[in-house]
Chains A and B, each alone.
Chain A
Amino acid sequence: MDYILQPWPWYVSGPLIAFVMLLLVYFGKTFGMSSNLQTLCSIGGAGKYSDYFRFDWKANRWNLTVVLGAVLGGFIATQYLSDGSAIALSSETISDLNALGFNEVGETLLPPEIYKWENILSLKGILILVIAGFLVGFGTRYAGGCTSGHAITGLSNLQLPSLIAVIGFFIGGLIMTFFILPLIFGS
């Protein structure tokens, strides 16, 4: 039981993620989380503004169900399957983040500097979250997929477009991490 409550190593987690992807493929579907953003916009009536949202969203209910399950899974994992141990980050990561003004590095899944309400209820705090979300939503739909659709499924199917998209993920991620995060948080 200890092995379940402790954080899972990569060589357990990676194969289990492959299993999720393969199960969905075996069920005749595909593993793509960001399609749900398009479906949710469609349900919200975005079809009035663009053909992109004019489709039968009911055909994607299976994928919304996966998302609902994932939310439940997040709840179950934190409530019943965790021992509250800190994230075993590398010491360089911890010192780099300390230098940027992050103080409780690895004690929770997300930095309170970004996700705690008292830090969000400022113009800067709320803009960070809205803009970050906007970039993820816009970028993933422009690229036609996210980590699940391109990095896991697309690469598994040896698709060149997915490799190009993953290279893009890293170009953006590296620029943000090395150049923009220090501007936002460093002082």
Chain B
Amino acid sequence: MKFLKFLLVGVFFGIVLVKSEAVSWYRIYEMFKFQSFHMYGIIGSAVFLGILFIWLFKKFKVKSTEGKEIDLIPKDKGVTRYILGGTIFGFGWALAGACPGPMFILVGTGVFSMLIVIAGALLGTFAYGVLMKKLPH
């Protein structure tokens, strides 16, 4: 029962990403070509409202359903891992046209060849885990 709310959030997320076309390879291509405002509008409005509400949550010390004050754990400081990892991610994002959320959602839309991309992503994750101590962070 405690997982039901997460299942429903996921269903809602999947529907929104399909209906917004953010799961479309074409929309990602169009975004990186700066030929439409669509994706920038989606991400921009999400971040704008996100900033506003996270700020409000903190200001009014809103408690989560688990009873703790809401506080997002900040990422570790640094530059190298974010710029290098981000760039590698960007290569894959623009080639596959899908980031990790949409990869799974697209399987649901019936594109089973996406399972190959997911397998590749798991392989990449595994490679990072094995090599992480040798990489600059």
Contacts and interface: CB of A to CB of B under 8 A. Distances in A.
A71 B14 contact: yes
Nearest to A126: B116
B65 A26 contact: yes
A129 B25 CA distance: 13
Contact of B19 (A13, A144, A166, A171): A13
B54 A156 contact: yes
Interface of A is mostly: helix
Contact of B26 (A34, A70, A105): A105
B11 A69 contact: yes
B90 A8 contact: no
Interface residues of B, number: 113
B75 A133 contact: no
B76 A73 contact: no
Interface string B103-137: 11111111101101111111111111110100100
A68 interface: yes
Given A69-B10, A93-B26, A77 B91 contact: no
A27 B88 contact: no
A8 to B, nearest CB: 4
Given A68-B7, A73-B11, A140 B19 contact: no
B9 A69 contact: yes
Contact of A169 (B15, B54, B90, B121): B90
B71 to A, nearest CB: 9
B113 A120 contact: yes
Interface string A6-24: 0111111111111111111
Given A36-B100, A138-B125, 5 more contacts: A10-B37, A26-B65, A76-B15, A105-B26, A147-B100
